[in-house]
Amino acid sequence: MTLCAARRRRFNPRFIHCYHYMTSHRNIDTIRAEFPLLATNPELAYLDNAAGTQKPEAVLKAMDAFYRTSYANVHRSVYDLSERATAQYEDARGRVAHFLNAQPQEIIFTKNATEAINLVAYSFGEENVHEGDEVLVSILEHHANFLPWQRLCAQKKARLVVAPVRADGTLDEEQMLALISARTKIVALTALSNVTGTRTPLARIIERVHQQGARVIIDGAQAVAHEHVDIRAMGADFFVFSGHKVFGPTGIGVLAARAELLETMQPFIVGGEMVKTVSLDNTEWNDIPWKFEAGTPPIAEAIGLKTAIDFIESIGWPHLHAHEQTLVEYALERVRALKGVHLIGPETYSSDRAPIISFTVDGVHPHDLASILNERHVAIRSGHFCAQPFLNALSYTAAARASFTIYNTHAEVDALIEGIAAAQKIFRV
Predicted confidence (pLDDT) per residue in 36-66, tens digit: 999 999 999 999 999 999 999 999 999 999 9
DSSP string spanning 183-249? Answer: TEEEEEEESB-TTT-BBP-HHHHHHHHHHTT-EEEEE-TTGGGTS---HHHHT-SEEEEEGGGTT--
Write phi, then psi, for 224 (nearest 5 degrees): -65, -20
Mean of all residue pLDDT scores within the chain: 94
How far does CA 164 lie from the centroid of its chain?
22
Task: Please state the domain extents for the chain.
Answer: 80-312, 317-426
Classify domain 80-312 by CATH number: 3.40.640.10
| φ/ψ bin of 250: left (φ > 0), alpha (ψ from -120 to 50), beta (otherwise) | beta
| φ/ψ bin of 41: left (φ > 0), alpha (ψ from -120 to 50), beta (otherwise) | beta
- Give mean pLDDT, residues 143-165: 99
Q: Which helix (H) or strand (E) holds 6?
A: helix 3-8
| C-alpha pair distances (Å), 217 with each of 122, 157, 189, 256, 320 | 13, 21, 6, 10, 26
User: Model confidence over 289-319: pLDDT tens digits?
Assistant: 999 999 999 999 999 999 999 999 999 999 9
- Give mean pLDDT, residues 249-260: 99
Q: Report pLDDT for 348.
A: 87
Residue 25 confidence class, pLDDT cut points 50, 70, 90: low
Choose the CATH number for 317-426 among 3.30.870.10, 3.90.1150.10, 1.10.3720.10, 3.90.850.10. Answer: 3.90.1150.10
Number of C-beta neighbours around residue 214 at 10 A: 23
**Is 12 a residue whose pLDDT tops 80?**
no
Q: Report pLDDT for 384.
A: 98
Number of C-beta neighbours around residue 111 at 10 A: 16
What's the CA gap between 378 and 48, in Å, rounded? 9
**Is 5 a residue whose pLDDT tops 50?**
no
**Is 18 a residue whose pLDDT tops 50?**
no
**Is 2 a residue whose pLDDT tops 50?**
no
**Pick the catalytic residue: 4, 18, 153, 386?**
386
Domains 80-312 and 317-426 share a fold: no
What's the CA gap between 181 and 225, in Å, rounded? 33
User: Model confidence over 166-195: pLDDT tens digits?
Assistant: 999 999 999 999 999 999 999 999 999 999
Total residues belonging to the chain: 429
Active site residue 4: no
**Is 21 a residue whose pLDDT tops 60?**
no
What's the CA gap between 375 and 385, in Å, rounded? 21
Among 47, 52, 33, 40, smallest CA distance to 411 is for 47
Residue 351 confidence class, pLDDT cut points 50, 70, 90: confident
- Give mean pLDDT, residues 17-25: 45
CA torsion sign, 143 to 148 to 152 to 155? positive
